[in-house]
Amino acid sequence: MLGVAGLIIENERILLIERGKEPMKGYWSLPGGLVEVGETLEIAVRREIREETGLEVEILSLVEVFQRITPDAEGRTEYHFVLMDYLCRPTSGTLLAGDDAARAQWFTESEIAGLLITPGTPKVIAKAFRENAEFGRSAVSRP
């Protein structure tokens, strides 16, 4: 299954959602979900972010592509996702958890360590903070 997610960074904080449904109910994760047939990746990430957080975003870059393979109780593959994670900035909207998100909350990078968080997410968050800093430096140097 092809999925997309947004690494939404503003004021040195990243927006995470607490998953309200399986798989991984109760874990903090990036807002996102499955790409619908006929939908571009960019439209899918904007739609999923809007549905789960109430925010509209600008997509800055593709940060990571990875796979998440989750076995069931018997060890057979239950879920196999290919995930495309995009660095985003909010442009409008009001933060409100929706769709399958139980909560939506901003966190500093240091606060991530204490969370029950989906595997692989802290690593991609660290990469996104580095890329976001690069975007900030390049924006300052533009004429």
pLDDT tens readout for residues 77-135: 998 999 999 999 999 999 999 878 899 999 999 999 989 998 889 999 999 999 999 87
**CB-based burial label for 8 (10 Å; 0-12, 13-18, 19+):** buried
Residue 85 in tokens:
């994670």
Residue 142, pLDDT above cutoff 70:
no
Overall size of the chain counted in residues: 143
Q: What local confidence, expressed as pLDDT, does residue 137 receive?
A: 57
Residue 17: pLDDT over 80: yes
Domain with residue 111: its CATH number is 3.90.79.10
In angstroms, the CA 142 to CA 133 distance is 15
Q: Is the pLDDT of residue 138 over 70?
A: no
Which residues span the domain enclosing 60?
2-141
Q: How far apart are CA 15 and CA 56, in angstroms?
A: 13
Q: What's the pTM value of the predicted model, to 2 decimals?
A: 0.88
- pLDDT confidence of residue 47: 97
pLDDT-derived band at 139 (thresholds 50, 70, 90) equals very low
Beta carbons of 61 and 86 less than 8 angstroms apart: yes
- Minimal CA–CA distance to 66: which of 47, 82, 79, 42? 82
CA dihedral 8, 35, 80, 5 (to 10 degrees): 0
Closest CA to 45 of 81, 83, 5, 82: 5
Residue 71 scores a pLDDT above 80? yes
The per-residue pLDDT for 22 is 83
**How many domains are there within the chain?**
1
